[in-house]
């Protein structure tokens, strides 16, 4: 890593660099200049120093021996025996990447009494499920969990390592990356591999205005966290030849400064990500009251209401309902887009839906490019008809 070098024979402690630093990262401590962790190496202090006492010291990067790393390792997240659904998505993607590279997929699972879950995960096709099973691992605690994953990674030296971009995955991944001395791409929405084994990690950047493709050519493992619901989940395979390997939970692994005093379940906001059906409203609804009509259709279909960003900006809907690049990514069985033009930022969050129906007055609207079924017309004519038909159908079948 690069640092700022201070030539103490020139530095007069004039304080110019302290005043110039936009990150408040320079301090004078006990008669010496000190650069804190906030330093971004922006070099403003170097330019401002009247004595030219500061310089950037570039240290050559140590590259890992790529050839000695192979296979894909994923972290299987579980809580109280419930495996987080993002795990199946990671397994699905991990298997695909491993297959392309002619390598294997391994899973690491940590918890208390999780042997059953390990056997269950094996059915999805990984070569190995490594298990750390101990009562002290019942709750997620960052130090032992980090040590456990790092142990497996140091042992098998994976080429690629994936975690869910969940609150747990997001806190665990940077620690693991730091311990392993490698990079990390957070919040990926897409992954692919080059024939040379480099992982192409795609994620939105600059507020979603560009999709950045990031590679980690000099370091291994290549680590990424993956957004929930952007990858297709794995399905159980016919013959699962893998094995479960139980690993030792010794004192050193379990050491922690965190004491869990109790656990109060958080009222989970299941959100629109969990809905099988989403009826989404765009600016085409024209007025806030239009959302009631959309809500009526969603309710009849047992679904949730989604919206485009302008509706959140207008204050008509909650940001948790926003679908898209800067909102939620959804993968329902049915997505009905009402009065939505189909801007790339919106489509990025819903194109994974199994069936997309679009209602729009403009036959040229880009939403029709991704829709499986398009209805050209006024949503205020079409949606009430759909509602009437659904009610009629329900009455015919004696449904409530
Ligand atoms: C960095 C960035 C991030 C963004 N993130 C998101 C995001 O996460 N999610 C998101 O949604 N947007 C996002 N946006 C905004 C995005 O670019 C679009 O502006 C937005 O999606 C457009 O919303 P809309 O389709 O509701 O509105 P419009 O583009 O205005 O489309 C309205 C549509 O309704 C149709 N219409 C009008 N009246 C009727 C009617 N009576 N019946 C049927 N159809 C009708 C029109 O023909 C038109 O196609 C982002 C933008 C930026 C710059």
Indicate which CATH number applies to the domain containing 90.
Answer: 3.40.50.620
Identify the CATH number of the domain in which residue 38 sits. 3.30.70.20
Q: Which residue has its alpha carbon closest to ligand 1 atom 23?
A: 308
Residues 360 and 320 in one domain: yes
Residues 277 and 369 in one domain: yes
Give the nearest ligand 1 atom to 326 CA.
Answer: 8
- Probe target for ligand 1 pocket from 282, 351, 357, with the most ligand atoms within 8 Å of CB: 282
Contacts of 257-264 with C-beta under 8 Å, sequence gap 24+, read 257/143, 258/141, 258/142, 258/143, 260/139, 260/141, 263/139
Residue numbers of the domain that contains 38: 3-57
Question: CA–CA separation, 280 vs 332, rounded Å?
Answer: 12
Report DSSP letters for 153-165, one per residue: HHHH--SEEEEES
pLDDT (0 to 100) of residue 98? 96
pLDDT (0 to 100) of residue 208? 65
Give the nearest ligand 1 atom to 341 CA.
Answer: 49
Within a domain: 259: no
Residues 383 and 279 in one domain: yes
Residues 297 and 378 in one domain: yes
User: Last residue of a domain, which of 16, 39, 57?
Assistant: 57
Q: Which residue has its alpha carbon closest to ligand 1 atom 53?
A: 209
| Cβ neighbours, 10 Å, residue 357 | 19
Residues 185 and 127 in one domain: yes
Within a domain: 264: no
Q: Which residue has its alpha carbon closest to ligand 1 atom 29?
A: 341
pLDDT (0 to 100) of residue 12? 96
- Probe target for ligand 1 pocket from 288, 324, 347, 378, with the most ligand atoms within 8 Å of CB: 324
Q: Which residue has its alpha carbon closest to ligand 1 atom 31?
A: 341
Within a domain: 267: no
Q: Which residue has its alpha carbon closest to ligand 1 atom 11?
A: 308
Residues 181 and 139 in one domain: yes
Share above pLDDT 90 across residues of the chain, in percent, rounded to a whole number: 80
Instruction: Report CA(282)–ligand 1 centroid distance (Å).
Output: 6
Within a domain: 265: no
Residues 75 and 203 in one domain: yes
Q: Which two tokens stand for residue 243?
A: 């094995």
Instruction: Report CA(307)–ligand 1 centroid distance (Å).
Output: 9
- Probe target for ligand 1 pocket from 206, 212, 337, 360, with the most ligand atoms within 8 Å of CB: 360
Residues 276 and 294 in one domain: yes
- Probe target for ligand 1 pocket from 285, 311, 346, with the most ligand atoms within 8 Å of CB: 346
Within a domain: 201: yes
Residues 240 and 277 in one domain: no
pLDDT (0 to 100) of residue 63? 63
Q: Which two tokens stand for residue 373?
A: 């079924």
> Consecutive 10-residue runs of the chain (400 residues): their mean pLDDT?
88 96 92 88 94 87 76 96 95 97 97 96 97 96 97 96 96 96 94 93 80 91 93 89 95 92 72 92 96 96 96 95 91 96 93 95 97 97 96 72
Closest CA to 110 of 142, 85, 86, 156: 142
Residues 30 and 75 in one domain: no
Within a domain: 260: no
Within a domain: 355: yes
Residues 183 and 311 in one domain: no
Residues 244 and 96 in one domain: yes
Q: Which residue has its alpha carbon closest to ligand 1 atom 48?
A: 341
Question: CA–CA separation, 262 vs 264, rounded Å?
Answer: 7
pLDDT (0 to 100) of residue 95? 97
Pocket of ligand 1 (CB under 6 A): 207-209, 282-284, 308-310, 322-327, 339-341, 343, 345-346, 349, 359-362, 365, 378-380
SS3 at position 319: helix
At residue 238, φ and ψ (nearest 5 deg) are: -60, -60
Instruction: Report CA(343)–ligand 1 centroid distance (Å).
Output: 6
Q: What is the count of structural domains for the chain? A: 3
Give pLDDT tens digits for 273-325: 889 999 999 999 999 999 999 999 999 999 999 999 999 999 999 999 999 98
User: Last residue of a domain, which of 204, 221, 254?
Assistant: 254
Q: Which residue has its alpha carbon closest to ligand 1 atom 38?
A: 284
Under a CB-based contact definition with an 8 Å cutoff, are residues 203 and 212 in contact? Answer: yes
Residue reference for tokens 């009509």: 293
pLDDT (0 to 100) of residue 269? 61
Under a CB-based contact definition with an 8 Å cutoff, are residues 336 and 297 in contact? Answer: yes
Question: CA–CA separation, 79 vs 236, rounded Å?
Answer: 21
Identify the CATH number of the domain in which residue 322 sits. 3.40.50.1220
pTM of the model: 0.67
Within a domain: 90: yes
């Amino acid at each position: 890593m690069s640092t700022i070098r201070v030539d103490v024979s020139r530095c007069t402690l004039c304080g110019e660099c302290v005043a110039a630093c936009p990150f408040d990262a320079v301090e004078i401590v006990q008669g010496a200049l000190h650069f804190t962790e906030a330093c971004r190496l922006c070099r403003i202090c170097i330019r401002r120093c009247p004595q030219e006492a500061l310089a950037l010291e570039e240290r050559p990067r140590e590259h890992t021996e790529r050839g000695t790393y192979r296979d894909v390792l994923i972290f299987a997240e579980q809580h109280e025996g419930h495996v987080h659904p993002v795990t199946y998505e990671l397994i699905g993607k991990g298997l695909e990447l491993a297959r392309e590279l002619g390598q294997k997929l391994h899973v690491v699972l940590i918890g208390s009494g999780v042997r059953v879950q390990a056997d269950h995960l094996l059915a999805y096709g990984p070569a190995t499920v490594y298990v750390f099973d101990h009562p002290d691992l019942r709750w997620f605690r960052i130090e032992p969990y980090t040590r456990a994953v790092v142990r497996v990674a140091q042992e098998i030296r994976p080429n690629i390592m994936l975690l869910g971009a969940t609150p747990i995955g997001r806190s665990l991944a940077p620690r693991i990356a730091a311990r392993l001395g490698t990079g990390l791409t957070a919040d990926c929405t897409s992954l692919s591999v080059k024939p040379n084994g480099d992982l192409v990690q795609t994620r939105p950047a600059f507020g979603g205005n560009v999709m950045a493709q990031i590679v980690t050519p000099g370091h291994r493992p290549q680590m990424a966290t993956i957004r929930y619901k952007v990858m297709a989940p794995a399905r159980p395979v016919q013959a699962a030849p893998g094995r479960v390997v139980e690993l030792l939970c010794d004192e050193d692994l379990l050491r922690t400064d965190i004491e869990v005093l109790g656990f109060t379940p958080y009222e989970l906001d299941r959100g629109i990500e969990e809905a099988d059906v989403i009826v989404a409203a765009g600016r085409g609804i024209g007025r806030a009251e239009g959302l009631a009509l959309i809500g009526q259709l969603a309710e009849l279909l047992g679904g949730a209401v989604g919206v485009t960003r302008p509706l959140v900006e207008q204050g008509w809907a909650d940001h948790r309902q926003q679908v898209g690049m800067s909102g939620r990514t959804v993968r329902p069985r049915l997505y009905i887009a009402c009065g939505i033009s189909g801007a790339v930022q919106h489509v990025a969050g819903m194109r994974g839906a199994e069936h997309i129906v679009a209602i729009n007055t403009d036959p040229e609207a880009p939403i029709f490019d991704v829709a499986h079924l398009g209805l050209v017309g006024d949503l205020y004519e079409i949606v009430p008809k759909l509602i009437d038909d659904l009610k009629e159908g329900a009455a015919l079948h004696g449904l409530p």
